[in-house]
Amino acid sequence: MTGIVEWYKDLMYNRCAPMTQDWFLVSEIGPLLIILVSYVYFSTSAGPRYMKDRKPYELRNLMILHNFIQVLISGYLFYEGLMAGWLFDYDLYCQPVDYSDNPQAMRMARAVHLYYMSKLIELLDTVFFVLRKKNRQISTLHVYHHTLMPVCGWIGAKFLPNGHGTLLGVINCFIHVIMYTYYMLSSIGPQMNKYLWWKRYLTTLQLVQFSIIFFHSIQLFFNGCNYPKLIAVLLTLNSTIFIYMFGAFYLQTYIKDEKRKADERSTAMRNDARNKKAE
């Protein structure tokens, strides 16, 4: 037990990035775990039980504002990620972590920390589902994704506030500009549905995103890059899991379900034709 405590102290205080050590919700993982355990409990148990005999809350204006803020944050972080390294200076083949306090390293570190904060704000997506009694949208994929991303954000802010792994955040923020724009428009009301035909392509973009991260991470095992191999393992494993889960969602929602609906329409049309003929 003493060895575990000493290992934990060494990890938390000696192997972390010194520039972010005292930043909000970075120094210890305990507060984050409390937030995430509360989130999972509320989303899967306490929230649905609380709403069981209540009418859904009307949250349209709040959701529009929330989604608009997410578009702004994601757009800003995408810009900062590019300008702090990925547009001009970072190497896609290998980009080690810079633990110094030079302006470029600090700029990326601030972006990584804000990205971490944005992942916590995104937990409200599920809270809104619960309060609106949209429990069917609280899938295993949804809860897993929203729980894991703050952990990734904390690891980045705590240990790797710049370097190779930050490409994930840059791509993710680009996807989220599009995704939260879609959510914002859909929050306005059903009159916007005719403009939202591109929903299925959001899942396609997610699959492309995690495929890029998979290949961007797996190369670290072969190119001799001075980047933590454990993080490369986690990034590769995480992207593989998400490719499988989003792929399964796409297959079920946009191929199998659409084929089933098409078969049902075809059967209904044949029945109508037979009924008219009989008449």
Burial class (CB in 10 A: 0-12, 13-18, 19+), 94: middle
Calculate Rg over the CA atoms of the chain. Answer: 22
Instruction: Give one word for 160, left, alpha or beta, with left for phi > 0 and alpha for psi -120 to 50.
Output: beta
Say how far apart CA 156 and CA 169 lie, in whole Å: 10
Say how far apart CA 194 and CA 180 lie, in whole Å: 17
Count of alpha carbons within 13 Å of 122, Cβ hemisphere only? 28
Say how far apart CA 148 and CA 158 lie, in whole Å: 15
Best CA proximity match to 161, nearest among 75, 228, 214: 228
C-alpha distance across the termini of the chain, in Å: 83
Annotate 19-60 with DSSP letters as a single string.
Answer: GGTTSTTTS-SHHHHHHHHHHHHIIIIIHHHHHTTSPPP--H
Active site (catalytic) residues:
145
Name the token pair of 84: 């702090």
